[in-house]
Structure 1
Amino acid sequence: MRVRLQGIVLTLVALLVFGLGIPLAITIAAGAQQDLFLDRLTDTARFASLAQRPLLDNKPTLLDPDLRRYTEVYGVQVVVFDQDGKAVASALGPNAARLDVHAERISDPVHEALAGRRSQPGGVLMPWDDTPLVLAEPVLADGEVR
């Protein structure tokens, strides 16, 4: 009798732990992702603001030192695209040409930015998910994408 009760109680406790633990873990992961998204979005908006003058003056390589320093400090790659979708400034330097801009995870946010729209948060990233977070911000000058 005691063994049966222990089995039932342990099963109920396990169901309770999983029933409450999994939604809690998803909520915590969503909160951490939202923090990461907002942090990266403010950085992306800053780089879009910095890129206005160099892109208007047709000197996008002036951004390279700032982009490289950001990558050194935060370990995040930054690439600036022109209106044609070609990489013109990058933390990668001359290696930016090797960036696969036709990959869907990169091209979709870039096309949205070229249409004047900001990146939107995606689905919840779980700790074991190795998909990179790709954000794009339009560089606007007088209301037009540059």
Structure 2
Amino acid sequence: MGHRDEMMAATSACKEGTKIAMDNGKYVRYTPEQVEALERLYHECPKPSSMRRQQLIRECPILSNIEPKQIKVWFQNRRCREKQRKEASRLQAVNRKLTAMNKLLMEENDRLQKQVSHLVYENSYFRQQTQ
């Protein structure tokens, strides 16, 4: 699988919310300690280079049994999750604003409809008075 294929697979998996199967067909499961270490590293550098990933594996014993490709995919998925969270948060904020605007517009519409009804009633009354 080439670099472009890996990126597309990771992006596709991210969009579908699935995990990527490694070449041997097994899903990668990380221990809570490994996830904690990876999260800590992610906050230091969300997009480590290939050399930096190799260095992480050498320097962090808890990650030593994880393939560099698996680390790369973990970081891709983590960046994707963060992007999805930010987008969801942005959309929730937009939704709250639109809901508030909708409420105001419905209240104004109600007020204007009552005003129209009142004016129609007055118009009818004045027409009767002038006949």
Fold match by TM threshold 0.5: no
Q: Which has the larger radius of gyration?
A: 2
Q: Which structure carries more helix by proportion?
A: 2
Structure with the larger RCO, 1 or 2 (CA within 8 Å, 6+ apart): 1
Name the structure where strand makes up a greater proportion of residues. 1
Q: TM-score, normalised by structure 1?
A: 0.33
